[in-house]
Amino acid sequence: MALVLYDNPLSSNALKVRFLLAELSLPYERRTVPFDLPRPEWYVAVNPVGGIPALADDGVVLAESNAILRYLAGREQRDDLYPADLRGRAAVDEFLDRFALTFRPAFFRYESPALGFVLGKGMLGGPPRPDELEQVAAAIASTMELLNSVVGPSGFALGRFTIADVAAAPILFRTTKTGLDLERYDNLARWRETLLARPSFAEADPVT
């Protein structure tokens, strides 16, 4: 039975799953979930929490994008993407948590006015608010500098390609749409360039 991904083209969390599915060369069916709240009843029946995306795999339904990344890498026995050894896996898990809890919110602070985020409608739900961007860029600069030092110069989060990179790639791609300048953060700019150059990322159909 084919994998089914419940997603939305504007969802960065859905894009990270499509990126990994492309990297793994796994066929799947896409079913679009509208961003507007409340979510449709048919989707709440799939994912009671209502978040996007969700993945169905022959009776297994899994939500939360990072959990899906771990599942798919394990399903395909890709220890290079999500190590089987305890120390290697812990490093990936640590980065996934750090990015989600510390660094992702900083990017979102810039995305929200740049892409007209509206609660209940998502990105592009309203008009952009460009007058806010300069102040936000200054406010998040210290967090961006910290991420720049954490990532280092390799072009990957942890020195080689893992699901930690898959998780971050959509957010790095989104900076090309928001205009957030990464050139002052040399390691982040290199990281973005490395990940977005992968053929699998283009195959994942990035939009915003």
Amino acid 2: pLDDT: 86
Amino acid 100: pLDDT: 97
pLDDT at 37 > cutoff 80: yes
How many angstroms separate the CA atoms of 29 and 55, rounded?
A: 10
Query: Which amino acid, residue 6?
Result: Y
Amino acid 134: pLDDT: 97
Using alpha carbons only, what angle is made at residue 174 by residues 160 and 104, rounded to the nearest 5 degrees?
A: 70
Amino acid 120: pLDDT: 86
pLDDT at 20 > cutoff 70: yes
pLDDT at 49 > cutoff 60: yes
Top-confidence residue, 1 or 202: 202
State pLDDT tens for residues 63-103: 999 999 999 999 999 999 999 999 999 999 999 999 999 99
Task: Give the confidence band of 51 by pLDDT, cuts at 50, 70, 90.
Answer: very high
For residue 185, the surrounding DSSP H or E stretch is: none
State pLDDT tens for residues 155-191: 999 999 999 999 999 999 999 999 999 999 999 999 9
Share of the chain above pLDDT 70, in %: 100
**Domains assigned to the chain:** 3-75 (3.40.30.10), 86-203 (1.20.1050.10)
Share of the chain above pLDDT 90, in %: 94
Amino acid 1: pLDDT: 56
Give pTM, 2 decimals.
0.96
State pLDDT tens for residues 98-123: 999 999 999 999 999 999 999 888 88
Q: Are strands 54-57 and 28-32 parallel, antiparallel or unpaired?
A: unpaired
pLDDT at 19 > cutoff 90: yes
Name 19's Cβ contacts closer than 8 Å, sequence gap at least 6. 166, 169, 170, 200, 201, 204
Inter-residue contact 185 to 178 (CB < 8 Å): no
Task: Give me the DSSP letters along 89-102.
Answer: HHHHHHHHHHIIII
